[in-house]
Amino acid sequence: MAIEKILSEWKKKVFKPIYWLEGEEEYYIDKLVDFAEHRILSDREASFNLTIFYGRDSNWADIVNACRRYPMFSDFQVVLIKEAQHLREIDKLDSYFQNPLHSTVLVVAYKDKKLDARTKFAKLVKEKAEVLVTKKMYDSALPDWVNKMVNGLGYTITPKGNALLVEHIGNDLNRIENEIEKILINVGSRKSITEEDIEQFVGISKEYNIFELQSALANKDMPKAIKIIQYFGANPKVAPMQLVLPSLYAFFSKVYMTYGVSGADETIAKQIGVSPFFMKDYLKASKTYGFSGTEKILLLLHQYNLKSIGINSARVEDADLMKELVVKAMM
């Protein structure tokens, strides 16, 4: 069942006896657990009817006993098991799963993994519980996810601001949401989030970032590229080499893909999985370097990734390695 359907039913006070939330993406599990903890019951009801267990510190028998209690001054009680993946002998909950109380809403947050579907307990969970399985979102899907979230709050975000946020934070949906909420507190009545807002309130430079470095490389603008690298060197926490190199490799890998596709810019962008807003940089790089030049850069990036961890290289500052890489790439 999708998270939207579960939340919609909960808002209508329609509950199933057991919800089993599992998988790699914590964001959606956290959303449901937070709603169950704070919004299913009123504050008065929760004081009598909300019980929270943490897997590492709990005993399965105590959980079963709590689930079998009847609610006080309410139609429902809520029992939450947080970090259930750490609960010892979790399969011994089977006695309750086989015959749950309809006045108990049991929510099990089984993060970072899934039950082994071959086990008897997993089959029982699938039969008796409402199951939500979450998967880690692909990086290519993050910009659309950000747009939908921001639009859902009644705001818009510029393509570059979106890309800066996603590139800086990566695949951490909880943190992306927190940063957006922080930005919205500061933009006042304005309904658009810009790259300037990202720079000011998240702490990402709109001039010295990985996208500007990619653009400088695409245009063979060595002075600009060196200037950005010097900024990275002076501010190593902003863009460590171990993050810059994979980003550049992803960029030139997609440049490499452009040689095998055709059509309008938006069509190519969709086929290679990038924002149309940045398509000009990919096409510019493909023309600037050509097929063999792009292959050379991908090989250089692999070599300098090894050098960055001390393989085939004496100890050299990251900024110096990056400058050396850029010069060789543009030769």
pTM: 0.77
Topology (CATH) of 210-330: Zinc Finger, Delta Prime; domain 3 (1.20.272)
152: buried, middle or exposed (CB in 10 Å: 19+, 13-18, 0-12)? exposed
What residue ranges of the chain are covered by domains with CATH 1.10.8.60?
Answer: 139-202
The string of DSSP codes covering 20-44 is EEEES-HHHHHHHHHHHHHTSS-HH
CATH label, 139-202, candidates 1.10.8.60, 3.40.50.720, 3.65.10.10, 2.60.120.430: 1.10.8.60
Q: How far from the centroid of its chain's Cα atoms is residue 301's Cα?
A: 25
CB neighbours (10 Å) of residue 292? 7
What residue ranges of the chain are covered by domains with CATH 1.20.272.10?
Answer: 210-330
- Region for residue 203 given its phi and psi (left: phi exceeds 0; alpha: psi -120 to 50; beta: otherwise): left
Contact 63, 79 (CB under 8 A): yes
- Residue 47's SS3 state is helix
- Residue 74's SS3 state is coil
Torsion sign, CA atoms 297, 303, 309, 315: negative
Q: How far from the centroid of its chain's Cα atoms is residue 238's Cα?
A: 19
Contact 110, 85 (CB under 8 A): yes
What residue ranges of the chain are covered by domains with CATH 3.40.50.300?
Answer: 3-134
Per-residue pLDDT of the chain (331 residues; tens, 9 = 90+): 589 999 999 999 999 999 999 999 999 999 999 999 999 999 999 999 999 999 999 999 999 999 999 999 999 999 999 999 999 999 999 999 999 999 999 999 999 889 999 999 999 999 999 999 999 988 778 889 999 999 999 999 998 899 888 877 888 999 999 999 999 999 888 999 998 999 889 888 878 888 899 999 999 999 999 999 999 988 888 888 888 999 899 999 999 999 988 888 888 888 888 877 778 899 999 999 999 999 999 999 999 999 888 887 667 788 899 999 999 999 8
d(CA 193, CA 47): 40
Query: Which of 253, 205, 251 has its CA nearest to residue 232?
Result: 205
Amino acid at 35: F
d(CA 131, CA 109): 11
CATH code, 3-134? 3.40.50.300
d(CA 125, CA 118): 12
Torsion sign, CA atoms 293, 285, 217, 232: negative
d(CA 98, CA 127): 9
d(CA 45, CA 37): 11
The string of DSSP codes covering 99-133 is S--TTEEEEEEEETB---TTSHHHHHHHHHSEEEE
Tokens 């705001």 correspond to 155
d(CA 328, CA 300): 8
Helices (H), the chain: 3-11, 26-38, 43-49, 60-67, 94-98, 120-128, 142-152, 159-169, 173-186, 195-202, 210-218, 222-234, 241-258, 265-272, 279-308, 318-330
